[in-house]
Amino acid sequence: MTLQIIPIHFKNDVQPTDDLIDLLLSSSKTSLENGDVLVISQKIISKHEGRVVNLDSIIPSELSIGIASAYDKDPKLVQAILSESQRIVRMEHGVIIVQTNHGFICANAGIDESNVENGYATLLPKDSDKSADNIRLKILQQTGKKVAVIISDTFGRPFRMGQTDHAIGVSGIDTILHYEGTPDTFGKILRVTATAIVDELCSAAELVMGKTKKCPAAIIKNFEFKENTGNIKSILRSEEEDLFR
């Protein structure tokens, strides 16, 4: 079966007062069907939830000023990063990698000045699983269709250059497809294979969404998955299991 990834282009920027479900449904050139996966960029969720900060309004602490000076950053941005983080994981080469309050390990706590008005930055949604839940339930109410919803953000990664999209919130789908205990094509039992399908779905959606195309969402059709509540914590590696922290 051919997997289809269909971009949803938005004409205008998203405001907190917008009806996001109406916007998604009316901007989509195709109808949602049972079993579709809807991937939505963090950026429009944050804007819709008012998670946008005016950097000028931030008063940096002494710590933020010190870090900013040592790492050649804007002290107000550093202050925003620290407010969104439970701890700093690495700081070097002008890069600040933190563990966010949600548990994501990423640069700048996911705070992003791109595709937002000058002088402003978006913060990650407070609870992206809840954001995804709300959207999934409203779609079910308005269209009768059972879809999975994934909120996606762009993260760098160790070892490899460039960024790829990762899930930061899910609803209606498990984060990982577990193969442990199932036979491979030679009848051998797989022991460690577990595919991070929600991250792969986000990466797949990013291929049509891009960064400059006013395309903050995509519908993925013909991906088979088991309907499940799902939660993003299930894909976060605990510190004890992580060899790179």
Question: Per-residue string for binding with a copy of itself, 151-190, x by CB under 8 A?
Answer: ---x--xxxxxxxxxx--------xxx-x--xxxxx-x-x
For the purposes of burial, counting CB atoms within 10 Å of the CB of 17, is it exposed (0-12), middle (13-18) or buried (19 or more)?
exposed
Identify the helix (H) or strand (E) that includes residue 150: strand 148-156
For the purposes of burial, counting CB atoms within 10 Å of the CB of 164, is it exposed (0-12), middle (13-18) or buried (19 or more)?
middle
Query: d(Cα 95, Cα 39) in Å, to the nearest integer?
Result: 28
Q: How far is the CB of 142 from a copy of itself (least distance, A)?
A: 23
Contact 121, 112 (CB under 8 A): yes
Enter the DSSP assignment of 235: G
Question: Per-residue string for binding with a copy of itself, 82-111, x by CB under 8 A?
Answer: --------x-xx-x-x------xx------
Contact 82, 97 (CB under 8 A): no
Q: How far is the CB of 213 from a copy of itself (least distance, A)?
A: 8
Q: How far is the CB of 209 from a copy of itself (least distance, A)?
A: 10
1 vs 59 by CB, closer to a copy of itself: 1
- Candidate segments 58-66, 67-75, 128-136, 231-239, binder of a copy of itself by CB under 8 A: 231-239
3-state secondary structure 185-202: CCCCECCCCEECHHHHHH
Size of the site for a copy of itself (CB under 8 A): 70
Measured in degrees and rounded to the nearest 5, phi and psi for residue 149 equal -125, 130
Residue choice 86, 130, 211, 229 for contact with a copy of itself (CB under 8 A): 211
Q: How far is the CB of 83 from a copy of itself (least distance, A)?
A: 21
Identify the helix (H) or strand (E) that includes residue 26: helix 20-27
Query: 13 to 32, contacts with a copy of itself by CB under 8 A?
Result: 13
By the rule CB under 8 A, 70 interacts with a copy of itself: no
Measured in degrees and rounded to the nearest 5, phi and psi for residue 187 equal 85, 0
By the rule CB under 8 A, 201 interacts with a copy of itself: yes
The binding site for a copy of itself (CB under 8 A) comprises: 1-7, 13, 90, 92-93, 95, 97, 104-105, 113-118, 154, 157-166, 175-177, 179, 182-186, 188, 190, 193-197, 199-201, 203-204, 206-208, 210-212, 214, 223, 234-237, 241-245
